[in-house]
């Protein structure tokens, strides 16, 4: 148990006149509240935590955390400690971490529009081959040996995230690398975590349904460099939009700045030899030392993610020669430009690409392997950034030869309307609503020398339609396709 005053700043204690009571834990779920817990009563579009304060008190809450703006409704009305704050989610995250027991050698935060999952996957997988206990937390879940706790959030809520970190530490994990999404950063889910290395992979349009504009989206990403890893290490891909903003922010935060790229200005330079070959040769130049690594990953963007992971591991303390020895064995994470099978002499891939930039990069990456036609099956998610649909339509029309527009996760939107918004800028596309039928139709029309990309859902095992989660996996559909004699 911890005294309340040790969890709060002097200003908060003085403002709220808090007594120094003993605290056993904190939760934002009233059903998880136990005796001597703090209940974090958040308000939002989907729920109102204030409605559950009575339930939390009945379950043993000794204090409640609320927004300053809501204090007037509860002051002198509750017989427990009231902690009011102008940013209760941030304070909640900080308090969660003060209850934690983990002490890792390295905690790495990776952000970016695309590439986060691949980078954390590569670091975790290379570490596993080397024999160092490193875990990753992100879109694919919490990964360490046989642990895989899937989450519907790329960056879990603070309480869940800290619980996972404590669990990993108890299993003798030495390093953790975490995907830090723009939502996670904006909602302060990682506040209180002491990152010593932060990195950004890419930056392009995404999640504008939430952030409303690109400026807000970029601002959320910048938080990883402005609010964390003070005096730590910042790894920045120098080819991203507004890379100067991230460099300037890192400089202000007194971080060691390492830029990665193929330009002469990059501190960590790399050069890809024979990109269209199955085995690529990548020349590295860092700290005036040159070396060569090999990889069968498809696409320059995946090579960039691999090099970013290489740089992160060097700064984590891994020896360069050991990383180089094992990196050739690394495969892409599930659903990230993943080769599924060859059908009738045509190769079939799946990818999670659901942004204009990601779709363009994947199509360009596959083009060198196409001798006849590049086929594409994809859709766009409902209740998300509508503005990117026409952009993705233009990209598919320009970079693919045969396009089928289908459903992704329409959620509560009209699937037909989503498809039409894509197709207005992809006039030659074929419309097939049923995703399974769309995939099978595209496979049926493949000939030797073609390549098919099924994009948008990647590793996902469900399709969300009107609040229902239906079992669906692109890779399984492709593997189940039977060739008729």
In the chain the domains, ranked by start, together with CATH numbers, are 2-88 (3.40.1390.10), 106-329 (3.40.1190.10), 338-480 (3.90.190.20)
Give the residue from 184, 185, 173 showing the smallest Cα distance to 249.
185
Going by C-alpha positions, the residue among 269, 250, 307 that lies closest to residue 122 is 307
The helix (H) or strand (E) run that includes residue 463 is strand 462-465
64-88 pLDDT, tens digit each: 999 998 888 887 788 899 999 999 9
Checking if the pLDDT of 45 tops 60, the result is no
* Residues with Cβ within 8 Å of residue 353, at least 6 apart in sequence: 114, 359, 361, 362, 378, 455, 456, 458
- The crossing angle, in degrees rounded to 10, of helices 243-252 and 214-226 is 30
Higher model confidence: residue 206 or residue 363?
A: 363
What is the spatial distance between Cα 142 and Cα 185, in angstroms, rounded to a whole number?
18
pLDDT of residue 150: 62
Q: What is the dihedral of CA 154, 197, 214, 335, to 10 degrees?
A: -40
Q: Given this model, what pLDDT does residue 77 score? A: 81
**Closest Cα partner for 380 from 347, 403, 346, 349?**
403
pLDDT at 471: 96
pLDDT at 147 over 60: no
Are 411 and 464 a contacting pair, CB within 8 Å?
yes
Torsion of CA 472, 475, 480, 485, to 10 degrees: 140
Per-residue pLDDT tens over the stretch 28-39: 999 999 999 999
Q: What is the pLDDT of residue 405?
A: 98
pLDDT at 485 over 60: no
């Amino acid at each position: 148990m911890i005294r309340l005053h040790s969890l709060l700043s002097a200003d908060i204690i003085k403002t709220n006149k808090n007594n120094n009571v003993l605290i056993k834990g904190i939760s934002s779920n009233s059903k998880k509240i136990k005796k001597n817990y703090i209940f974090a009563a958040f308000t939002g579009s989907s729920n109102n935590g204030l409605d559950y304060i009575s339930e939390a008190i009945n379950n043993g809450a000794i204090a409640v955390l609320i927004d300053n703006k809501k204090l007037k409704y509860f002051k002198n009305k509750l017989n427990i400690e009231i902690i009011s704050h102008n940013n209760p989610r941030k304070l909640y995250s900080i308090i969660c971490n003060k209850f934690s027991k983990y002490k890792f050698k390295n905690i790495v935060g990776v952000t970016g529009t695309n590439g986060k999952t691949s980078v954390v996957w590569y670091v975790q997988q290379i570490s596993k081959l080397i024999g160092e206990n490193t875990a990753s937390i992100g879109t694919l879940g919490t990964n360490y040996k046989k642990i895989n706790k899937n989450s519907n959030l790329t960056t879990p809520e603070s309480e869940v995230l800290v619980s996972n970190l404590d669990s990993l530490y108890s299993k003798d994990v030495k390093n953790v690398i975490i995907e830090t999404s723009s939502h996670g950063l904006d909602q302060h889910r990682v506040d209180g975590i002491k990152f010593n290395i932060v990195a950004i992979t890419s930056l392009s349009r995404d999640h504008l349904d939430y952030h409303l504009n690109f400026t807000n989206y970029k601002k959320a990403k910048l938080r990883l460099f402005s609010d964390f890893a003070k005096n730590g290490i910042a790894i920045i891909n120098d080819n991203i939009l507004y890379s100067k903003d991230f460099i300037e922010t890192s400089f202000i935060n007194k971080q060691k700045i390492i830029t990665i790229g193929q330009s002469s200005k990059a501190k960590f330079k790399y050069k890809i030899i024979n990109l269209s070959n199955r085995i690529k040769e990548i020349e590295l130049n860092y700290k005036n030392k040159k070396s060569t690594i090999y990889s069968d990953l498809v696409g320059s963007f995946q090579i960039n993610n691999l090099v970013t992971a290489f740089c992160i591991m060097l700064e984590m303390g891994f020896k360069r020669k050991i990383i180089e020895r094992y990196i050739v064995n690394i495969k892409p994470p599930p659903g990230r430009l993943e080769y599924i099978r060859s059908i009738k002499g045509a190769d079939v891939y799946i990818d999670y690409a659901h942004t204009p930039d990601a779709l363009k990069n994947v199509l360009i990456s596959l083009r060198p392997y196409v001798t006849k036609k590049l086929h594409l099956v994809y859709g766009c998610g409902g209740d998300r950034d509508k503005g990117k649909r026409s952009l993705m339509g233009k990209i598919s029309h320009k970079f693919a030869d045969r396009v089928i527009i289908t459903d992704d996760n329409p959620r509560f939107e009209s699937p037909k309307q989503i498809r039409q918004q894509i197709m207005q800028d992809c006039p030659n596309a074929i419309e097939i609503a049923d995703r399974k039928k769309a995939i099978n139709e595209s496979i049926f029309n493949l000939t030797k020398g073609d390549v098919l990309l099924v994009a948008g859902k990647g590793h996902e095992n469900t399709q969300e339609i009107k609040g229902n989660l239906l079992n669906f996996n692109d890779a399984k559909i492709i593997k189940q396709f039977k060739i008729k004699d």
